[in-house]
Structure 1
Amino acid sequence: MPVPVIPSSTVPGHRVTASVAAVVVVILAVISATSASAQSRDQDDPALAQTIQANQPIVAGSVELSSGHVDLGPRFVDGTWQLLIHDTSTGPPVWREPADVVFRIGDVGRSVLPDDERYSFVGAQPGAPVWVIPQTENPGVVWLGWNTQDPDVMNRVDRGVRLRLVGADGPGKVSVYLQSGNLSGPKVLWESDSTTTEPLWVDVNTHTHANWVFSEPGVYILRIEAVARLIDGVEVETFSDVRLAVGDSTDANGAASAVFAGTEAASTVSGGGADGSAVVAGSGSRSADQGGQSMWVWLVVGIVAVSVIVGGAVVVRSAAERRGVTRGRMTR
């Protein structure tokens, strides 16, 4: 009896390729949906939409900022990696040296800590006063966030920046956290009394604001570090001391002349960023979601590569089997 020959339309290699193609289509659909979701979130928060121009100047001179929008942000100054303050609070956008700036959190920013166990990390008793820079802008309170949107930073940095609270010096505890809504709990980013702090992974072209809570009035200095790997493989790092006068009666001049004398916390790495840093989403064409999309892209590449190898092997095997069938027919 002649040995049947498998039709080419049902060769195993073709089935493998078709299956892989189906998986790839599904993954690409997931990537597209994720990207659309990220863009939707950006559009839903127009307060975070901003574009930083390359020619925005660095201005000198001491200043006290008590309201309006400001960000911490990395920038290259004469080729040197620095962490500066991007200020849009008083007019056209400018950059400032942190040593020239004192942030005033007046009593207009004073709040009462709720009787809620979820906020026990703040370091104050329920009902006690706390001073807050809110995640959502509050008129009369400086609105402090961070961004990675300087054009040179976006062109030269490989994927993102690691930001870390190295230490804090002040009369009370400082807590920084995110909260997406009243029904969701706070996501704590930094606590000043911790002996270790985790760096935050911030993709380039990201703009984020968080809640900054101070448990006591007085002068505070926050030492914040910015580390990045450039596309040429060079790693750059710097830190800046951010000075704050918390409460109406706190002397801004004392804050301006204060010197950091706090304890520097050790760095820990345990999150989901490019190097294990905690991922913090923000607004921008590249947000923290893009790190996940990059993972999917590499997964697709890997699947395609495996399909080529497996499909090629199956095709070779099928060809060998067909040659065997042909030889069998010839000997009958």
Structure 2
Amino acid sequence: MKKAIVVFEVEGGSDKYFDGHRKDTMPIVNAIKDKGWHAEVVYYRPEWSEALYEYVSQNFDAYISRVNPGNIPGGEKGYFELLTKLSDEGGLVGMSRPDEMMSYGAKDALVKLASTDLVPEDTYAYYEVEDFHKTFPKSISYGERVLKQNRGSTGSGIWRVQLVDKELAASVEPGTELPLDTELKCTEAVDNHTEIRKLGEFMDFCDQYIVGDNGMLVDMRFMPRIVEGEIRILLVGPHPVFVVHKKPAAGGDNFSATLFSGAQYTYDKPEAWQDLVDMFAEARPVIAEKLGGDNIPLIWTADFMLDDAPDGGDTYVLGEINCSCVGFTSELDMGIQQLVAEEAIKRVETKHGA
């Protein structure tokens, strides 16, 4: 055991500080060093893949990926191949491995969980443009929907879609295939801006989210109580660290819970949302079964929305899981970097029987 952990980043991108790093990268590195281990940052470029493999596999026990998939030069394929090779051939502990990022963090995780109490049954995924164009004109007849692209972050490519004609919305028979000239009101979560588009035109626009590597769209029911806020559990390994209550800006069709859109964030200890935390802990074995194994990401979040339970009380609906590159720059004073360092070192020591 070398007692060394490398942190991967990429150069450039809007998530970088003046020192060229994400604001939460060096706190992780320094927290690992404070534990008596070596840690350093290396940058990924496709043309460096072979040299990076040699250097990292020879000098480190584990890697932590702090790369926003949207910022990867050359796309995520080459980067994921490097990380997988480091784990499978180099023997490094991956945090998180690409297969874990894809199984937990891909938007179609919601579809795989649609048979559970966490996600509504009428949640679908479109992997082919033809299926999207065939099914969505019927799906929107059931009421307001939310379309979520697999790529992107901070609400980009997540659309709340509703019929402009309220009389049509109230009278249309669910399951009816609506004509392509039906007008839609489309609100994007990134900034709550609204566009009026015809159904056919909007589907053509959304084709971009389906084509290409790992392209797809998730189609799920709009949850009206999102206006009361999205509730995010942030975890380090299996441990809930805090809960963020993200309330969208008031007014209009606003539903976005991102800071960019003016949402208000409140940070609570897990015990303030004990029912939700307990429910999620109880559901974790089911999540693991449906998503292909309980390889828990190092830093991850689960986002929930309030819904009405059959008994008139509250219940929670899972909106998404994030684990590719969860940021916590606003919470550094909570000491999360120390928890990350402890969990990362524990995983390496467990592998080596230390």
TM-score by length of 1: 0.24
The structure showing larger relative contact order (alpha-carbon pairs under 8 Å, at least 6 residues apart) is: 1
TM-score by length of 2: 0.23
